[in-house]
Homo-oligomer: A and B are copies of this chain.
Amino acid sequence: MGLEPVRWENGRLRILDQRHLPEREEWIEAATWEQVAEAIREMAVRGAPLIGVAAAYGLALARRSGADEQAARRGLAETRPTAANLSKALARVARADDPLAEAEALHEEERRACEAIGRHGASLVPEDAVVLTICSTGSLAAPGIGTALGVIRTAHREGKLKEAVLLETRPRLQGLRLNAWELLRDGVPFRVIPDGAAAWWMDRMGADLVITGADRIAANGDTANKIGTYALALAANEYGVTFAVAAPTSTIDRMTPTGDEIPIEERPPEEVTRVRGVAVAPEGCPVWNPAFDVTPAPFINRIVTEGGVHSPPYDFAKSLSPTWP
């Protein structure tokens, strides 16, 4: 797609600062693992697969600069507690003789994984399909074409997509800001709706598929993803619309038995009370701002990985890939 928001160049990690999109393209030049950690924590780079890749390069930076590698690994892992990709990518790079080569290999693997996810996922898309999705799951969230948005792109390329429907995804509006930006660039037909309008869209406009990304998939298929995903699954369930999750194997955490054991990050209240720096709430307004929710496996009709389309009952307790333990 020509959009590479994480790039290794001249011994530094260039990170497209997504906080300023779609207004302007600003890049962070990270020369230390701490700078990478800050970019992840502050969500300059986000999306579970992409922060896995960024953290991998961050650990490579630590090795090159002779920093305390254990501290770097811990510091990078602690930036975002929910995404499985982060700790798994760090574990791979920590074991490697050449951490930079390993980070680059991992980056390329994830790019190919997303291509495969797009192909497999598109098989779930019927002709003339209306497909709903939430958050940002394209090239700004995962290498290459992305996960759920990669499926939508592939379905569009195959001529099967009537329209994508993007939930705006409060509080940070990744759907409205980032997914919309990517689809406008690609000329894929879409509309954005407020998160609360998804059930009503299904009632009045109809939907053929809901597909989302994931931040962590437990061994039993329970899936942590952007807050609002679970409500979207409830609506899909009410209307008998297939609800699918698209994620690379790196997002599957076979050591976490169920969603109950997935730690859910709470983000600062200012994400809700301020929008692009502008106050939208009365002073002192208390807020609950979990970044993710967990959709129980019984609501998930399909899980699409680079390995193919998985159907329930899910059992990911065994390793799925030689590269992802």
How many angstroms between the C-alpha atoms of A199 and B234 in the bound complex?
9
A282 contacts partner chain B, Cβ-Cβ < 8 Å: yes
Among the listed stretches A87-95, A162-170, A304-312, which one makes contact with chain B, having 4 or more residues with CB under 8 Å of it? A162-170
Among the listed stretches A185-193, A247-255, A314-322, which one makes contact with chain B, having 4 or more residues with CB under 8 Å of it? A185-193
Contact B203 A285 (CB under 8 A): no
* Residues 267-325 (chain A) with a chain B CB within 8 angstroms: 272-273, 275-290, 293-294
Q: Which residue of B lies closest to A193 (CB)?
A: B288
Q: How many residues of A contact B (CB 8 A)?
A: 59
A196 contacts partner chain B, Cβ-Cβ < 8 Å: yes
A173 contacts partner chain B, Cβ-Cβ < 8 Å: yes
Contact A282 B191 (CB under 8 A): no
Contact A279 B23 (CB under 8 A): yes
* Chain B residues in 8 Å Cβ range of A177: 280-282
Q: Would A190 and B287 be within 8 Å (CB), given that A195-B170, A196-B170, A231-B198 are in contact?
A: no
Contact A285 B195 (CB under 8 A): no
Q: Would A192 and B275 be within 8 Å (CB), given that A200-B227, A234-B234, A281-B177 are in contact?
A: no
A240 contacts partner chain B, Cβ-Cβ < 8 Å: no
* Residues 134-184 (chain A) with a chain B CB within 8 angstroms: 134, 165, 167-171, 173, 176-177, 180-181, 184
Kindly provide the distance from the CB of A274 to the nearest chain B CB, expressed in whole angstroms: 10
Q: Which residue of B lies closest to A184 (CB)?
A: B282
Q: Would A192 and B281 be within 8 Å (CB), given that A176-B272, A200-B290, A203-B293 are in contact?
A: yes
Q: Would A238 and B228 be within 8 Å (CB), given that A192-B286, A192-B288 are in contact?
A: no
Contact B275 A275 (CB under 8 A): yes
Contact A203 B230 (CB under 8 A): yes
Copies of this subunit: 2
Q: Which residue of B lies closest to A232 (CB)?
A: B196
Contact A197 B276 (CB under 8 A): no
* Chain B residues in 8 Å Cβ range of A200: 227, 230-231, 290, 293-294
* Chain B residues in 8 Å Cβ range of A171: 194
Contact A228 B184 (CB under 8 A): no
Kindly provide the distance from the CB of A143 to the nearest chain B CB, expressed in whole angstroms: 22
* Residues 194-237 (chain A) with a chain B CB within 8 angstroms: 194-201, 203-205, 227-232, 234-235
A126 contacts partner chain B, Cβ-Cβ < 8 Å: no
Kindly provide the distance from the CB of A138 to the nearest chain B CB, expressed in whole angstroms: 13
Q: Which residue of B lies closest to A271 (CB)?
A: B194
Q: Which residue of B lies closest to A284 (CB)?
A: B184
Q: Name A's B-contacting residues (CB within 8 A).
A: 22-23, 134, 165, 167-171, 173, 176-177, 180-181, 184, 190-201, 203-205, 227-232, 234-235, 238, 272-273, 275-290, 293-294
What would be 26 A-B contacts, judged by CB atoms less than 8 Å apart?
A: A22-B283, A23-B279, A134-B196, A173-B280, A176-B281, A176-B285, A184-B285, A192-B286, A192-B287, A193-B272, A193-B288, A194-B289, A196-B227, A196-B232, A197-B227, A197-B288, A197-B290, A199-B293, A200-B227, A200-B230, A203-B230, A203-B294, A204-B290, A231-B231, A275-B278, A278-B278
